Amino acid sequence: MDKLPKWADVALIPLINLILALIVSGLVVALIGQDPFEALAIMVNGAVGSTYGWGYTLFYATNFIFTGLAVAIAFHARLFNIGGEGQAQLGSLGVALVCLMVPWPHWLIALPVAILGGGLFGAAWAAIPAYLQATRGSHIVITTIMFNFIASALLVYLLVSALKAPGMAPESARFVEGSHLPTAREVLGAIGIDFARTPMNVSFIVALLACWGLWLLLWRTRLGYEIRAFGHSDKAAVYAGINPVRITMITMLISGALAGLMAINAVMGEQERLLQDNVLGAGFVGIAVALMGRSHPVGVFIAAVLFGALYQGGAELEFETSIPREMIVVIQALVILFTGALDGMVRSPLEKAFLRFRRQPDKPGVPAE
């Protein structure tokens, strides 16, 4: 029998971990002389108190869904992809190239091609670390970190040379009008709902589809079966005729592609031109999101919305108090720490408690499994 009921494993433990992370964050806020409850109120109100807040929350959440899913699928194959940041940067390059090269007549045509471009570039950036891990055993954690640095150098270079638009700033030209993605305001306005002007756009729907698609892939297809089997035991995978090199490659390509897809939201949907740092740490947030979401697409979705709210709330916090934005980074670090690394601190006492609770009805006559 499993030590914990399923609901405790997937809901209770992440919740306790999150609360612990928030309590410690509150202490940090108190330590720098601010009122944590006031800060919390500002954040909650800023994140979900208006359609404006919601719009930004879900806009950020869209980014985090993509990067979270990227980390999650790699986790299933027991690969730790810290390279979401760099893969998303390359994805932005792919999306930008698509949007700059062709005078798109309509976004419905531009979007699928942009998805392809972002996905391909992101996947390509994951391919080398994946290949080195699969065939040479180079630790993928280290190589993907290095690739983050290399990606940002590459983008810096391109934006002062080939892709640079006239003017001072290191950025590309604006994308063509036809590649503009409808925002939530435009979509909802068309059916008569008033929604604030926010960068939230149709990419959100693509993100939802990605969640569903990944769930289908992992639990309903042979490839997903093989990825999960490989993640649990690579020796067993070989026994079952699953090729470790192939699975490592495919998983990382999908992972990189998902991270790259973030660019359709951030670059195509919001910035509408290529900037130097367009990922803004979302690749790393993906780690926290995947950990909190237990690498399940539904969990990733919930965690991504939560982090979206955190980011939007954190931005409001900076406006209204003297707490800098980096507060979000602290909270994010604490979430990773509590849900990822200190999981055992909550889990083992909880397991003991459940065991004691369960042993009572386990009298003779009740067959124990």
Partner 1 sequence: MNYLDLIQILDSSIRLATPLLFACLAGLFSERAGVFDIGLEGKILISAFFSAAVAALTGSVWLGLLAGIASSMVFSMIHGLASITFRGDQLISGVAINFLAAGMTVLIAQDWFSQGGRTPQLSGGARFSPIELPFAEALSGVPFIGPLYADALSGHTILVYVGLLTVPLTWYVLFRTRFGLRLRAVGENPGAVDTAGVNVVRLRYAAVAICGVLCGLSGSFLATGLAASFTQNMSAGRGYIALAALIFAKWRPWYALGACLLFGLLQAISNRYSSIDLVLFEIPNAFVLALPYILTVVILAGFVGKAVPPRAGGQPYVKER
Partner 2 sequence: MTAPAIELKGISKSFGPVQANKDIAIRVMPGTIHGIIGENGAGKSTLMSILYGFYKADTGEIFIRGERTEIPDSQAAIRAGIGMVFQHFKLVQNFTVLENIVLGAEDGALLKGSLSKARTLLKQLSEEYELHVDPDAKIEDLGVGMQQRVEILKALYRRADILILDEPTGVLTPAEADHLFRILEGLKREGKTIILITHKLREIMETTDTVSVMRRGEMTATVKTAETTPQELAELMVGREVLLRVDKQAATPGETVLNVENLQVVDGSGVERLRGISLNVKRGEILGICGVAGNGQSELLEVLGGMRPGKGRVTVNGQELDLTGAESDARTRRRRGIAHVPEDRQEEGLIMDFFAWENVAFGYHDDARYQRGAMMNNDAIREDAEAKIAKFDVRPANCWLKAKNFSGGNQQKIVIARELERNPDLLLVGQPTRGVDIGAIEFIHEQIVALRDAGKAVLLVSVELDEILSLSDRIAVIFDGRIMGERLPSETDERELGLLMAGITDTDKDHSVDEIEENLAHATGKAG
Given the rule CB under 8 A, which residues bind partner 2? 1-3, 216, 220-222, 225-226, 228-229, 232-233, 235-236, 238-243, 351, 355, 358-359, 368-369
Residue count of the chain, please give it. 369
- Nearest-5° Cα angle at 279, 295 to 90: 90
Q: Which of partner 1, partner 2, none does 82 bind, CB closer than 5 to 8 A by kind?
A: partner 1
Neighbours of 45 (CB within 10 A): 14
**Within a 10 A sphere around the Cβ of 203, how many other Cβ atoms?**
28
CB within 8 A of 186, min separation 6: which ones?
none
Closest CA to 231 of 72, 119, 88, 356: 72
Tokens of 16: 């306790």
Contact 71, 307 (CB under 8 A): no
By CB under 8 A, name the one of 11, 15, 32, 205 that touches partner 1: 32
Binding residues for partner 1, rule CB under 8 A, total: 48
For residue 183, what are the β-bridge partners? 201
8 Å CB contact between 104 and 111: no
| Side-chain half-sphere exposure of 313, counting CA atoms within 13 A | 22
Q: Residue 6 interacts with partner 1 (CB under 8 A)? A: no
Smallest gap from Cβ 246 to partner 2, in A, equals 10
Work out whether 40 is an interface residue with partner 1 (CB under 8 A): no
State the binding partner of 355 from partner 1, partner 2, none, CB within 5 to 8 A by kind.
Answer: partner 2
Which listed residue (57, 81, 143, 312) binds partner 1 by CB under 8 A?
A: 143
Is residue 315 near partner 1 by the rule CB under 8 A? no
- Smallest gap from Cβ 310 to partner 1, in A, equals 12
Q: Which residues bind partner 1 (CB under 8 A)?
A: 28, 32-33, 80, 82, 128-129, 132, 136, 138-139, 141-143, 145-147, 149-150, 153-154, 156-157, 160-161, 284, 287, 291, 322-324, 326-334, 336-337, 340-345
